């Protein structure tokens, strides 16, 4: 079931892995810019076009948004994806995020499955099951397992991703553990939302470390994807804890402050002192400069994380990004055995 090889291990649980799909290879830790119709001010197709026009090597798109397009737009997107995938990676998520926010109870397994038949992709996520009183009373583990197994049966794609949620970090760790106990070779990739890992950054690094330790017991090549994670400081910390891939909408909704490794308001681009080719190009539309500046940052930043891991320098890189004091405090809270 594994689709990855560990190329290098270093500080903490950090690792560089290579995921191979068909003839393509993706090196981790890496970041997928996500596209969604919910919570952003730009149209899905224009964001998609931007990523394709600049040959950005990865993207995440929602099955719900693809389903919501009219036939002409969807066919155009499907043909663009086919072309784009020759060089780049497409991750389709289940669309539960959008349908939940839109309160669209009509989004179900059948529509999700039908949508996946209309497009190509490298990775696709299982249909999420959110923890609720109802699913708990019916047996949350069984509900999650059913959804993962039905989702896996949709396609023979090796890039199948089993998605987990938990209303608390303890529940999240427990559901992953119980599911892995029940089904061996569940999937080569698991995904979990950053927000379910805890409220504070200490909670989050502890949860992600625990999950890495758990996965390693079964197969250390299992890739851990963190959904909704794009803060540069968190990308460094979670890479240290053994997370491999990340996605978020931050590249659309924020401006990355490259000096402070912070996310800030998009209106501050002219004061960012950034020397990148997009920030310097004042003839470009402002918002396009912001998006491209952010995309370039994520590309370079994740590359620098991978280099730091390969050079056994991740802790010192984290100290540069977060400050020594914070790194010491975080390290004191994580125990790797
Ligand atoms: Zn810039």
Ligand 1 geometric centre to CA of 294 (Å): 7
Q: Residue 264, Cβ neighbours under 10 Å: how many?
A: 14
The verdict on whether omega for the bond into residue 132 sits within 30 degrees of 0, i.e. cis, is no
Ligand 1 geometric centre to CA of 155 (Å): 40
Ligand 1 geometric centre to CA of 271 (Å): 10
Question: CATH no. for residue 165?
Answer: 3.20.20.105
Rounded Cα distance, 148 and 46, in Å: 31
Tell me the per-residue pLDDT of 107-130, one tens digit each, with 9 for 90 and over.
999 999 999 999 999 999 999 998
Rounded Cα distance, 205 and 240, in Å: 9
Measured over the CA atoms of residue 121, residue 70, residue 33 and residue 242, the dihedral's sign is: negative
Ligand 1 geometric centre to CA of 84 (Å): 25
Ligand 1 geometric centre to CA of 303 (Å): 16
Ligand 1 geometric centre to CA of 262 (Å): 14
User: Which of the residues in the chain have pLDDT under 70?
Assistant: 1, 133-138, 336-337
Q: Taking all residues of the chain, what is their mean pLDDT, rounded to a whole number?
A: 94
Ligand 1 geometric centre to CA of 299 (Å): 12
Indicate the number of domains in the chain: 1
Ligand 1 geometric centre to CA of 119 (Å): 33
Q: Would strands 262-264 and 255-257 be described as parallel, antiparallel, or unpaired? A: antiparallel
Ligand 1 geometric centre to CA of 147 (Å): 42
DSSP 71-92: HHHHHHHHHHHHHHTTTSEEEE
Residues in a beta bridge with 294: none
Ligand 1 geometric centre to CA of 261 (Å): 13
Q: What is the pTM of this model?
A: 0.97
Tell me the per-residue pLDDT of 83-96, one tens digit each, with 9 for 90 and over.
999 999 999 999 99
Tell me the per-residue pLDDT of 241-296, one tens digit each, with 9 for 90 and over.
999 999 999 999 999 999 999 999 999 998 888 999 999 999 999 999 999 999 99
Ligand 1 geometric centre to CA of 83 (Å): 28
Rounded Cα distance, 104 and 20, in Å: 35
Ligand 1 geometric centre to CA of 97 (Å): 30
Contacts of 146 (CB under 8 A, 6+ apart): none
pLDDT at 135: 62
Ligand 1 geometric centre to CA of 56 (Å): 16
Ligand 1 geometric centre to CA of 28 (Å): 23
**85, exposed or middle or buried, with CB in 10 Å at 0-12, 13-18, 19+?**
middle
Asked whether the beta carbons of 170 and 206 are under 8 A apart, the reply is no
Residue ranges making up the domain that contains 48? 4-333
Ligand 1 geometric centre to CA of 335 (Å): 37
pLDDT at 319: 97
Q: Which residues surround ligand 1, an ion (CB under 5 A)?
A: 274, 276, 279, 293
Token pair in block for residue 193: 């939302």
pLDDT at 43: 93
pLDDT at 186: 85
Ligand 1 geometric centre to CA of 49 (Å): 20
Ligand 1 geometric centre to CA of 297 (Å): 8
Ligand 1 geometric centre to CA of 93 (Å): 29
CA distances from 58 to 26, 161, 188, 293, 295 (A): 9, 16, 18, 16, 10
H or E stretch including 152?
A: helix 140-152
Ligand 1 geometric centre to CA of 266 (Å): 12
Ligand 1 geometric centre to CA of 289 (Å): 8
Rounded Cα distance, 123 and 233, in Å: 26
């Amino acid at each position: 079931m594994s689709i990855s090889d560990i190329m290098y291990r270093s500080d903490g649980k950090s690792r560089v892995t290579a995921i191979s799909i068909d003839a393509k290879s993706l090196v981790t830790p890496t970041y997928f810019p996500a596209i969604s119709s919910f919570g952003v001010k730009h149209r899905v197709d224009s964001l998609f076009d931007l990523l394709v026009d600049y040959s950005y090597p990865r993207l995440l798109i929602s099955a719900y948004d693809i389903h919501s397009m009219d036939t002409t737009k969807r066919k155009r997107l499907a043909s663009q994806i086919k072309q784009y995938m020759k060089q780049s990676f497409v991750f389709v998520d289940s669309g539960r995020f959008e349908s939940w926010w839109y309160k669209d109870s009509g989004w179900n397994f059948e529509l999700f499955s039908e949508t996946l038949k209309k497009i190509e992709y490298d990775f696709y996520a299982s249909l999420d099951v959110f923890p609720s009183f109802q699913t708990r009373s019916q047996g949350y583990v069984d509900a999650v397992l059913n959804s993962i197994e039905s989702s896996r049966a949709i396609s023979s794609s090796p890039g199948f991703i089993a998605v987990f949620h938990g209303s608390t970090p303890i529940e999240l760790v427990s559901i992953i553990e119980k599911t892995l106990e029940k089904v061996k070779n569940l999937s080569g990739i698991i995904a979990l939302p950053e927000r379910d890992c805890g409220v504070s950054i200490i909670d989050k690094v502890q949860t992600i470390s625990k999950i890495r330790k758990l996965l390693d017991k079964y197969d250390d090549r299992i890739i851990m994807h963190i959904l909704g994670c794009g803060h540069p400081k968190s990308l460094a910390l979670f890479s240290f804890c053994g997370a491999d891939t990340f996605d978020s909408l931050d590249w659309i909704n924020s401006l990355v402050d490259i000096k402070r490794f912070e996310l800030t308001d998009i209106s501050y681009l002219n004061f960012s002192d950034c020397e990148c080719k997009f920030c310097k190009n004042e003839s470009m539309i402002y918002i396009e400069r912001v998006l491209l500046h952010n995309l370039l940052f994520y590309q370079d930043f994740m590359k620098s994380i991978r280099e730091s891991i390969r050079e056994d320098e991740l802790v010192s890189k984290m100290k540069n990004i977060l400050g020594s004091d914070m790194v010491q405090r975080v390290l004191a809270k994580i125990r790797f055995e």
